[in-house]
Structure 1
Amino acid sequence: MIDKLLPLPIRAAEAFEDDPLTAMFPEERALVAGAVPQRQLEFGTVRRCARTALSELGIDPAPILPGPGRAPRWPDGIVGAMTHCAGYRAAAVARARDIVTLGLDAEPNKPIDDPGVIDLVTLPGERTQLPRLAALEPDVAWDRLMFSAKESVYKAWYPLTGRWLGFEDAHITLDPTDATFTARLLVPGPVVAGTAVEEFSGRWMVGAGLVMTAIVLLA
């Protein structure tokens, strides 16, 4: 499913269930040794997905450990992103010569029940979109899709800046006509190839009980 969202030369892999026999490197296992079994399973499975995707780029298996900001530390010359939620794990990678950065997120296609959470993760201008979008496509959890888009923004942003980006620091506009979205940065963006990035463009899709978003910034 994820291949429909990400263009070549990105390589991706996904899993809809965990395999208890998935092997982890000792360094990875140590990071989740004290976690509940479900957390250990999802941690291992998403890294299995990442290694599968990396193998398509000719990268040998190695530990994938968190770096600053908990972002994955990828092999030299590689950019990537991972995501996991209930019933789904995925990873996407590419060579840095082709892709500057990418963000990826998946969430259950279920509305956010708590209005307080919606207020926390969205801006007033973003919330005004939701009733119109729900009227167009009531089967899409648009508030959850908005949240997913912000998660993808952060995952694309952090490797370029090494800085935190709050939910209030980007304004998302969802386009239902072509399944795209725009994230307008409300804080100074990173400079890439001499040009300041003021917004990210992304794509979204719905399927298998999930909403998924992705941002790809080409080199």
Structure 2
Amino acid sequence: MLDDLLPAGFHASQTRGDVAGVVLFDEERAAVEGAVAGRRAEFATGRHCARQALRRLGASPVPLPVGEDRAPVWPDRVLGSLTHCTGFRAAAVGWAGGEVLGIGIDAEPDRPLPAEVIEHVLRTDERLGTGAHDRLVFSAKEAVFKAWWPLERRWLDFHEARVTVEQGGVFAVDVLADRTVACRYEGRWGAAGGVLFTLVTAVRA
């Protein structure tokens, strides 16, 4: 499903559950040293998906350490994003230098958000009172932030992005914060097997 959302030239890898026996580079192991077993497995599977996607892109498998901002450090000239939720892990990558300046993917369990989360992350004009819609808007904002952060390197509050779900598996994104990079944010979404997927690309203006 995720592959269907990607722009041309981008590749993804996804898996249900964790992959056993993933060999991590030293820099990667250091990032989860001391973490609980579940977190280590989740992290390793994410790196496995990333390397599978990089291989499809034609890039060499390299360490993907965690940066000071806790985001993965992608190889030079590669745009990438990771996501995970219960029972699902995925990565998407593409070459930098084209019309796409950034990418963000998010996966969420396809079920309603708790009421306290809705109040925190959704603007008043985004609340339709339906569980599926609320979860979709939340996931879209998570994907927006992942595309935004490598370009702007500053926090984007949930209320600084307005998401409007449209027909045909797309959503519009209106970033209300000041920015330094001239681009527009475009969104696509889908759902399969109890998982909701969102993709956001920052496209050259």
TM-score, structure 2 length as denominator? 0.93
What is the correspondence of 1:60-209 to structure 2 with a 5 Å cutoff?
60-98=60-98, 99-113=100-114, 115-127=115-127, 130-131=128-129, 134=130, 141-175=132-166, 177-191=167-181, 196-197=182-183, 199-209=184-194
Deviations 1:109-166 (A, max 9, x none): 01112x2211001111111xx23xx4xxxxx722111110000100010111111101
Q: Could you tell me how far apart the structure 1 residues matched to 2:111 and 2:45 are?
A: 23
Moved over 4 A (4+): none
Distance in structure 2 (CA, Å) of the matches to 1:68 and 1:204? 30
Unaligned residue ranges in structure 1 (runs of 5+):
135-139
Read off the aligned partner of 1:174 and give its amino acid letter: V
Aligned length: 203
C-alpha separation between the residues in 2 aligned to 1:210 and 1:77?
30
Percent identity over paired residues: 44
Q: Aligned equivalents of 2:75 and 2:125: distance in 1? A: 39
Classify the secondary structure of the residue corresponding to 1:55: helix
Residues 22-50 of structure 1 deviation map (CA, whole Å, 9 limit, x = unaligned)? 11112211211211111101100011100
Comparing 151-160 with 26-35, which one deviates more in the overlay? 26-35
Tell me the TM-score normalized by structure 1.
0.88
- Tell me how large the CA RMSD over aligned residues is: 1.5
Q: Corresponding residue for 2:199?
A: 214
Cα distance, 1:218 vs structure 2: 4.2
Equivalent residue letter for 1:145: L
